[in-house]
A = this chain, B = another copy of it.
């Protein structure tokens, strides 16, 4: 699961924690950290000159080029459901292909593909039926439904902003957080000065918002007269709303089912088969890419919060006594940006830069395996094009982590919609999941390990005179035996002592029975075992692909210096929807054979190319493909037909080079495969100073 907080502290039903795959701009600690880590632009490549990031322009581009769009748009759409168009689908497919290569193939993980439709008992065991829920409130007059914690947050923040305005204090700290800018649009602030004590109270509420239960949120709304900002109407009492989509399996409705809200249970339920597939040995990891579904209360954050989404999840099963990792040395020197729990608990947000090795050494990250995956996540995100300066790892604080979890780190990526947004979770979930399913199903979800040296152990055991027991206790004999056998070492030894004095009593099935010394003997005996049996722990990296994809689009977007209208998506070749655009000078038939030949040769080289022979200028065709993130373009013109030459254009620099068709194809192939950089391509191919492709 993307958030490891499911089935958390059982004492108070802190449900908002349990389900959230949400932008973590919720609490004030993040507002400050924006300042420290706000990166200004997407200057990862040398020649780019960006205008200030403009979300409206990016949205227009993504819509115009059909990266994605609201699903069922012609039917009016449904909040939180999006369809990916051709470039979005390809981008997603390429991110997933790279994910498979980076994780599954590189680490020899065991891929699984399990069903979405899940019978209810599974989620009863896992805790989702009881607790995968949010608190919602209803507008008592128009029936609008709102998330309770979001309502409190939005209203109090708006009042604080109004107070600052009234006091003439610059609103900068709030404006610096893009997400809050957006929120301000929803809940208008009015310049009303508040008492200092009220300001302090509001700030205190906001700082611990994640800690309130539903009834407490209801109390807050009454105390502070919080109403629905869009209507001014009062809202009702907070109600729990389970976020799983329900359905029913089979023709008679006899099997209630849910759509999975995460892929994780599918891994756990197949643990025994996977272990056998791996020859009975741990560590090993299963991996799965698939759809999950969450019936969000009122999703409004684009791809960052949706009702149906693609996840990629890994469950790495490891010996609880040995969480070292064989390849740890390969990542030990990588420096990460960390925001640890102690810093956050102290109300601060000072990040630390630290190598992975040092983080484990100093106990910042709990163990090698967890740290190894944090580092691998980092490498993956950089590889697909996430801006390093807008990526950090934030540790869960004790109160947001499930009670069974050991440690949990989120990869947070900064973006204009959600601020620092959790895009990957990486948790050490201990033995929780396998244990609950094993208890429920009575299946032994354990590893049995041959010991090099047998373990010799002395422990007390009871031997019964079954005949005597049967005679005295009749039908209760079994219960009595069971009650004795259920005693631990100390209990058995205590009973032995009592029996040495005479009859002793024991409680079985709620009744009291008197044991005579003749009925049983208790002795310490020596046991020798060659097998160690244990429930493995689970380290779980969990990726929200849509969130990563959206952040990547933001990080890749900029505009040409000479013209803000000319948007570019500088996607790395490895994930770019199309790698090469083939541009014939015109759609004349004489170019056809060459277009076909070049297409075929790129295809054979495994380079995804597309032809654009539309009736528009070459410059316009390139501009369109800058918006699509196509890194390279080749032009076929009359010279190509005569001399078999081709020009090559690079997207970010707009550099143009020329060479023989053979050389250009070979160079592009190496560029796309990441074997060479553009600088090297320039050494191989001379600059082109022709005229027809002027932009």
Q: Could you say which of A81, A86, A291, A307 has the most chain B C-beta atoms within 10 Å of its C-beta?
A: A86
A280 CB, nearest partner CB in chain B, Å:
9
A308 within 8 A of partner (CB): yes
CB neighbours of A110 from chain B (8 A): 85-86
Q: Looking at the complex, which one of B66, B113, B290 makes contact with A274 (CB distance below 8 Å)?
A: B66
Q: Assess whether A113 is in contact with B89, with CB atoms less than 8 Å apart.
A: yes
Given A251-B136, A251-B241, A608-B105, A84 and B114 contact (CB-CB distance below 8 Å): yes
Q: Assess whether A266 is in contact with B83, with CB atoms less than 8 Å apart.
A: yes
Q: Looking at the complex, which one of B74, B112, B290, B308 makes contact with A443 (CB distance below 8 Å)?
A: B74
How does the 8 Å CB contact mask read for A112-133 relative to B, with 1 for contact and 0 for none?
1111111101100000000000
Given A247-B245, A247-B247, A249-B78, A83 and B117 contact (CB-CB distance below 8 Å): no
User: Which A46-96 residues have C-beta < 8 A from chain B?
Assistant: 65-66, 69, 71-75, 78-79, 81-86, 88-90, 92-93
Q: Assess whether A83 is in contact with B119, with CB atoms less than 8 Å apart.
A: no
User: Which A244-285 residues have C-beta < 8 A from chain B?
Assistant: 245-252, 255, 257, 259, 266, 269-270, 272-274, 276-277, 279
Kindly report which residue of chain B lies nearest to residue A90, judged by CB atoms.
Answer: B111
A489 CB, nearest partner CB in chain B, Å:
31
Kindly report which residue of chain B lies nearest to residue A255, judged by CB atoms.
Answer: B78
Q: Assess whether B279 is in contact with A614, with CB atoms less than 8 Å apart.
A: yes
A36 CB, nearest partner CB in chain B, Å:
36
In the docked arrangement, what's the CA distance between A65 and B255, Å?
29
A29 within 8 A of partner (CB): no
CB neighbours of A305 from chain B (8 A): none
In the docked arrangement, what's the CA distance between A250 and B269, Å?
29
A693 within 8 A of partner (CB): no
In the docked arrangement, what's the CA distance between A249 and B307, Å?
9
Given A108-B611, A274-B66, A71 and B259 contact (CB-CB distance below 8 Å): no
Kindly report which residue of chain B lies nearest to residue A443, judged by CB atoms.
Answer: B74
Q: Assess whether A308 is in contact with B115, with CB atoms less than 8 Å apart.
A: yes
In the docked arrangement, what's the CA distance between A106 and B273, Å?
38
Q: Assess whether B85 is in contact with A273, with CB atoms less than 8 Å apart.
A: yes
CB neighbours of A478 from chain B (8 A): none
Give me the 7 closest cross-chain CB pairs, A-B, nearest first. Answer: A89-B111, A84-B113, A86-B110, A83-B114, A74-B441, A89-B113, A74-B443
Residues of A within 8 A of B (CB): 65-66, 69, 71-75, 78-79, 81-86, 88-90, 92-93, 100, 105-106, 108, 110-119, 121-122, 136, 138, 143, 145, 241, 245-252, 255, 257, 259, 266, 269-270, 272-274, 276-277, 279, 286, 288, 290-291, 293, 295, 297-298, 307-308, 437, 440-441, 443, 603, 608, 610-611, 614
